[in-house]
Structure 1
Amino acid sequence: MDDSLGVTWSVVPEKNFNALIEQFKGKCHSWVVMLSTVQRIKSGAVEGNIFTNGWPKFSSLVLQCRSKELVVLDCYVLVEPDRSIIESFAEQLHKIIRSEERLYWIFANAGLAKDLQPLLQLKATQPGLATPSYCVDVLADLIFYYIPVTDVSTFTKEEPLLVPDDYVLRKLEDRHLEVVSTVWEYPVCGGIIPFLTDLVKLYHSVGVFTRLPSGIISETPIGWCLQYPNGEVGSLYVVEEYRRKGLAKIMVQHMCKLVVEDGEIPFISAEKNNFKPISLFLNVGFVELGNCVNLFCM
């Protein structure tokens, strides 16, 4: 709880989750992301808390979901944010970030993120901190996409995906993560392998493996896709020589099926000017949800 700025932030109890969803549904950037995260916290699929700047009346919300190596913080606001709201957000985020040393991904709409970044950096470097400061930077300018509720049934059909005979889909294991780590582009703390191990252990993943003419399946994946703590499908990658064979689309469809089976709505993001994955997502059935900026603190 924080009232240093005249604003009280508090944890929302589970009994109020449904009322929370109704207030935000369709009214803020990436509301499907919020819905997914709330459901994951409620079901116990991920550890986390929901903070609001008041109850039952509130204008701002922070969703916190954490794994061993990563904490995702989604920021939402129902009104045009003024200086006091932005400062209140920064104070609450600073308090959360200072509570434990992990990697933080902060998602907020472009306007809010632009103002939050310098305020957080200022707080991170203020004199008198007992422990080392953290840095705040922009990771990506993103567009979120989701599968509309009316189309979710497409992924509940029992028919298996049409995977070419030369390939096999399998869940990733620890022994596959060395090759995954070689193309990982995002900052992590505690090492890339521990970070990926945490994701693969706790959430969905899929790898594509080649099947030799003898029937033996290769030990090394030639493509993969992961799921993050907030439920987002991401880290889609196919080794260059195996591209343009439809493998990326098959992996995304497979991950969507797993997410839908969990009772959640599939969502995914792409950098604003990266048109190749956007075309793929639209082809699978995703529609644009909204844009936001991803900050990271470590």
Structure 2
Amino acid sequence: MAIPKLVLVCILLLVFRHANSQSLKANFYRRTCPSLETIVNATTATFISSAPSLAPALLRMHFHDCFVRGCDGSVLINSTSNNTAEKAAIPNQSLRGFQVIDAVKSAVERQCPGRVSCADILALVARDAVSLINGPFWPVPLGRRDGRVSNSTEALFQLPPPFFNSTQLIASFAAKNLTVKDLVVLSGSHTIGVAHCSSITSRLYNFTGRGDSDPSMDPNYVAALKRRCSPTDANSIIQMDPGSSQVFDEDYYSIVSKRRGLFQSDGALLTNSVTNAYVQQHSTSSRLSSFLNDFSKSMVKMGKIEVLTGSAGEIRRVCSVIN
């Protein structure tokens, strides 16, 4: 029986993406830039030591890069008079830490000019930033190339927003070849970092358009958040994991199990059997080593999403500008 053309194209695309991800390897720069990881770690450490809050910001930047056109450094590109880049999309306007990537790239270029992609640098910086605040350490296979396309509209529609329900989240992750378990594990990154009040205003004050709050949230938590965030407050920040937002631990799951997840997407983890089981398992007993191991595995998978390798893309001289 003949295979329909559309199905065949999809199969070939999946094979191509898998082949690309498999071409990444740990020792990719062994000959061309043997000191790469030392340079990246040392430069990243100079920033994290004085501003540890950059760690979750850089982790988030890596996630936002990989979910749009794959892990190709496209989130780093500046807009031009002819193009509105991913950076300008609403979900990316609160990204921080670009100065860290620029500093690391400059340090790497001094030792290994024109050899290391910005996409690889971002993946390494995100890992090292988290590790430097005593979070998990995971292997980062290398060999990514930088993309030449960065479009704000793509970012707006491909990044899963904080108001997605479980069905939407699962579909969004599946589109990137990530499983339901990857979804709940990577959501655990919300154990560190902060968010702006503007990201939860509607959940607190106008959930269904009738001036109400999200009924799935603990009402005591709603009251506490309202004391921090007024309906018009767009600038104040709140911890995603109250009392533990600077420690990479499994406490996030305890918060979610108590219906105190900050975003709708956090609360949505309780509505799916697989994600809920993981939340309950990690909220009722000390399973930190299990979570950290799971997180490391999921980060390796995420870092391989739709990568460009070989002769595809380019090696950018400056991360914010296409060659």
More strand by share: 1
For the superposition of Structure 1 and Structure 2, which TM-score range results when normalised by the shorter chain?
under 0.3
TM-score in terms of structure 2 length: 0.24
More helix by share: 2
